[in-house]
Structure 1
Amino acid sequence: MVRGRDQSRNPGHRELHVTRVIDRLETRHPDISREAIEEVVRSAHSHFADRKVCGFVPLLVERAAREKIQELVTS
């Protein structure tokens, strides 16, 4: 279990998760520029990055980014 925690704190591992979230959201919202999606995802990530339970950060980042992008799409 400690190993998983160590991986989630690893900058390369975090960046991989961020990139995957960006890729999924870009596929889901082709009408929004990758740059805009990346900005939303990185903003969400910065909000959650220092949380104690790092294993959930990718999930929380994706959920927050998805909600923000949905707001952009519907406004």
Structure 2
Amino acid sequence: MEQVFDRLAATYSDLPRDHVARTVANAHDRFHDSTIREFIPLLVERRARAELSSSGSLLVWSS
């Protein structure tokens, strides 16, 4: 998960790092009971990226 966080923190450097970390953690929590563990990092990154993309546009509009 650290690599996922690092990639997303670099991509979304305009967002606070703690926001990115919370988003990754929340996405990871959704897959806690998954039986196929190999794909969790990929799924977490996709979900977190989608959430960060939408929150990034919300942050731009709110400033």
- Judging by fraction of residues, say which structure has more helix: 1
Give unmatched runs, 5+ long, in structure 2. 59-63
Paired AA for residue 44 in structure 2: V
1:40 maps to 2:23 = yes
Instruction: Report what 2:38 is aligned to.
Output: 55
Aligned positions, number: 58
Paired AA for residue 36 in structure 2: V
Distance 1:49 1:27 in 2: 25
Deviations 1:35-64 (A, max 9, x none): 000000000000012201110100000000
More contact order relative to length (CA 8 Å, sep ≥ 6): 2
Identical columns (%): 34
* TM-score, normalised with respect to structure 2: 0.87
Q: Which has the larger radius of gyration?
A: 1
Moved over 6 A (4+): none
User: What is the alpha-carbon root mean square deviation over aligned residues?
Assistant: 0.7
1:27 maps to 2:10 = yes
SS in 2 for 1:48: coil
Give unmatched runs, 5+ long, in structure 1. 1-17
